[in-house]
């Protein structure tokens, strides 16, 4: 987990940093904590690698905490936002950027503990990884990066969302066993598996992927493919 503390008063940043560390220890959580004295610098880093949680002081030098949150929401809708402030005057602004909570200074340890209990409930499950052997070593791929994989001449060609293809030599059965139980993946035929997150449509014979690729489905699995895709879209819509 990556946590940002944005506050232009160094002593208050350090104090919150210490108290967050105590909460992480208490709740057996692992996290990296980054401190920022202004919203501008925080936004630059947030654009490079997203934060799971951000504590934003309302009254910052430069752009204030609400303006910082508004800019963050233009490219990150998932970061959990906590405003730290001496006043709740900006409660409506917090609602607009989907802030989870206002931590009004001075706040007690009990308030912070209750807040972390709520944060933990809202954190997404850790993303799964797939470790594969490649020429020259190993590669680690996140499940969410895998668009589809094909078995071809005793090799698995794994196509990822960055446009790259990772090739590994193993049986297709062993490869797909790693993905079993994850509702995102559907076995189209004996040699192809896709990630339904990247499917735009299913026409009865092919999945049309967002990348423009068309992945054929065997006649025997066409019905289950349609059902799996509809079920996946329904569940995804319910979560939004």
Q: For the segment 35-65, what is each residue's pLDDT rounded down to a tens digit? A: 999 999 999 999 999 999 999 999 899 999 9
Tell whether 52 and 10 lie within a shared domain.
yes
Tell whether 99 and 133 lie within a shared domain.
no
Sign of CA dihedral 220, 149, 199, 216: negative
Look up the CATH number of the domain holding residue 52: 3.40.50.2300
Task: Please tell me the distance from the alpha carbon of residue 120 to that of residue 33, in angstroms, as a whole number.
Answer: 16
Tokens at residue 137, please? 């070593």
- DSSP state string for 154-222: TEEEEEETTS-EEEE-S-HHHHHHTTTT-TTEEEEETTEEEEGGGEEEE-SSEEEETTS-EEE--GGGH
User: What are residue 137's phi and psi, to 5 degrees?
Assistant: 155, -145
Q: What is the 3-state secondary structure (H, E, C) of 207-222?
A: EEECCCCEEECCHHHH
Look up the CATH number of the domain holding residue 183: 2.40.50.1020
Q: What is the pLDDT of residue 239?
A: 53
User: What are residue 92's phi and psi, to 5 degrees?
Assistant: -65, -40
Tell whether 97 and 141 lie within a shared domain.
no
Tell whether 147 and 112 lie within a shared domain.
no
Tell whether 118 and 182 lie within a shared domain.
no
Beta strands in 95-152 (DSSP E): 101-104, 129-134, 137-142, 146-152
Residue that finishes a domain, picked among 71, 94, 122: 122
Rounded mean pLDDT, 144-164? 93
Residue that finishes a domain, picked among 90, 122, 154: 122
Query: Per the omega criterion (within 30 degrees of 0), is the bond before 106 cis?
Result: yes
Whether residue 127 has pLDDT greater than 80: no
pTM for this predicted structure: 0.55
Tell whether 21 and 56 lie within a shared domain.
yes
Tell whether 114 and 146 lie within a shared domain.
no
Residue that finishes a domain, picked among 87, 122, 157: 122
Tell whether 111 and 135 lie within a shared domain.
no
Per residue in 192-222, pLDDT tens? 999 999 999 999 999 999 899 999 999 999 9
Tell whether 133 and 106 lie within a shared domain.
no
Tell whether 225 and 135 lie within a shared domain.
yes
Tell whether 66 and 147 lie within a shared domain.
no
Tell whether 111 and 146 lie within a shared domain.
no
Q: How many CA atoms lie within 13 A of 161 on its CB side?
A: 12
Residue ranges making up the domain that contains 141:
129-239
**What letter would DSSP give residue 123?**
S
What share of the chain has pLDDT > 90, as a percent?
62
Query: How many structural domains compose the chain?
Result: 2
Asked whether the beta carbons of 192 and 162 are under 8 A apart, the reply is: no
Which among 106, 178, 108, 109 is positioned nearest to 146, based on CA atoms?
A: 178
């Amino acid at each position: 987990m990556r946590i940002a503390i944005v506050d232009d008063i160094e002593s208050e940043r350090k104090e919150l940093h210490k108290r967050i560390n105590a909460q992480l220890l208490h709740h057996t959580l692992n996290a990296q904590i980054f401190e920022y004295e202004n919203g501008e610098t925080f936004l630059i880093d947030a654009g490079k690698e997203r934060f799971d949680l951000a504590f934003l002081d309302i009254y910052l030098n430069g752009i204030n905490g609400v303006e910082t949150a508004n800019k963050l929401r233009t490219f990150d809708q998932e970061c959990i936002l906590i405003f730290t402030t001496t006043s709740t005057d900006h409660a409506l602004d917090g609602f607009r950027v989907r802030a989870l909570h206002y931590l009004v200074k001075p706040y007690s340890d009990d308030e912070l503990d209750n807040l972390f209990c709520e944060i933990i409930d809202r954190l997404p499950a850790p993303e799964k990884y797939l470790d594969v052997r490649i020429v020259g070593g190993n590669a680690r791929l996140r499940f969410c990066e895998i668009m589809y994989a094909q078995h071809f001449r005793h090799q698995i060609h794994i196509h990822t969302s960055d446009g790259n293809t990772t090739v590994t030599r193993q049986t297709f059965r062993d490869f797909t066993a790693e993905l079993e139980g994850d509702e995102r993946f559907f076995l189209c035929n004996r040699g192809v598996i896709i990630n339904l997150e990247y499917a735009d449509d299913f026409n009865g014979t092919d999945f049309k992927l967002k990348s423009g690729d068309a992945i054929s489905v065997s006649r025997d699995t066409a019905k289950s493919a349609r059902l799996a895709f509809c079920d996946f879209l329904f569940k995804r819509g319910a979560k939004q």
